[in-house]
Amino acid sequence: MTWLLYALISAAAAAATAILAKIGVGAVSSNLATALRTSFILPLVWGLVVARGEANALKTASGQTYLFLALSALATGISWLAYFKALQLAPASHVAPIDKLSLPLTIALAALFLGEPLSLKLVLGVVLMAAGAILTLG
């Protein structure tokens, strides 16, 4: 599969996540909901790694790999905790577009820290994404 197909699958799953999480977080605290969600993900992903024989790479991964994946996990945890709390407090139709402001933020950070190029078309798209997210608050 191509990166685009994986990205589209990710977008569809993220959309489903918002709706399913909004329903699931209704009867429990947002922190417990996040912990439960994480508990369900962990065996699924480790099962995939083991089934594909990818666990051997644990021995060859560098300290930098572990450090940056740990920092990524910390950022993910903060994101999920905040997302579930926001879903508890507001409609999914308000929370999800604001959460997607991560798109323009990611593009800006990728340009700043990874040296990824910015074109006029990309900058215009980022501005439109941000404007669209803000307009959903209406």
Per-residue pLDDT of 74-98, as tens digits, reads: 999 999 999 999 999 999 999 999 9
My answer on whether 121 and 59 are in the same domain is no
Spatial distance between the Cα atoms of 26 and 91, rounded to a whole number of angstroms: 11
Q: Write down the pTM of the prediction.
A: 0.84
**Paired tokens of 55:** 């666990």
Domain assignment of residue 59, given as a range: 3-90
My answer on whether 112 and 58 are in the same domain is no
My answer on whether 50 and 113 are in the same domain is no
My answer on whether 56 and 105 are in the same domain is no
The reply to whether 51 falls in a domain is yes
Residues 6+ apart with CB under 8 A from 129: 100, 101, 103, 104
My answer on whether 110 and 138 are in the same domain is yes
pLDDT digits (tens, 9 = 90+) for 110-125: 999 999 999 999 999 9
